């Protein structure tokens, strides 16, 4: 499993980036926060969550271990997969996400759609 990648941002799209690590370009799905701070040519270190599926290996990248921890925690909820968890993290900063969960604020959580 890949747990961390450090390299140069080679390209950015709406929901992912390409991180060049030693000449190998890794496509990494990333939260909006990571994508906002990424710039082509910039050096970037990401905490990675690796998902191995029957048809693909998907890498999810996070600013730090805390953000990755939230991603993993959200996926432990029935019906929440990687895409929804990433959408929630992109829509709500960690503090707002924690508040929405604690207060059972369905409207805030549904804003991630």
For residue range 57-103, list pLDDT tens digits in order. 999 999 999 999 999 999 988 888 999 899 988 888 777 788 877 88
Where are the extended beta strands (E) located within 1-113? 4-12, 16-21, 24-30, 43-52, 57-62
Q: What is the DSSP letter of 93?
A: -
Architecture of domain 4-62: Beta Barrel (2.40)
Contacts of 36 (CB under 8 A, 6+ apart): none
Percent residues over pLDDT 90 in the chain: 65
Q: What is the mean pLDDT of the chain?
A: 91
Range list for CATH 2.40.50.140 in the chain: 4-62
Residue 112, pLDDT > 70, answer no
């Amino acid at each position: 499993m890949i747990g961390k990648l450090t390299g140069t941002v080679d390209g950015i799209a709406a929901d992912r980036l390409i991180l060049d690590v030693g000449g190998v370009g890794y496509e990494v799905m990333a939260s909006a926060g990571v994508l906002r701070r990424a710039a082509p040519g910039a050096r970037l270190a990401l905490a990675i969550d690796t998902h191995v599926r029957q048809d693909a290996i998907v890498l999810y990248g996070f600013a730090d271990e805390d953000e990755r921890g939230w991603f993993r925690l959200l996926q432990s909820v029935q019906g929440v997969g990687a895409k929804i968890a990433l959408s929630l993290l992109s829509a709500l900063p960690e503090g707002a996400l924690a508040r929405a969960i604690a207060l059972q604020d369905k409207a805030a959580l549904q804003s991630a759609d």
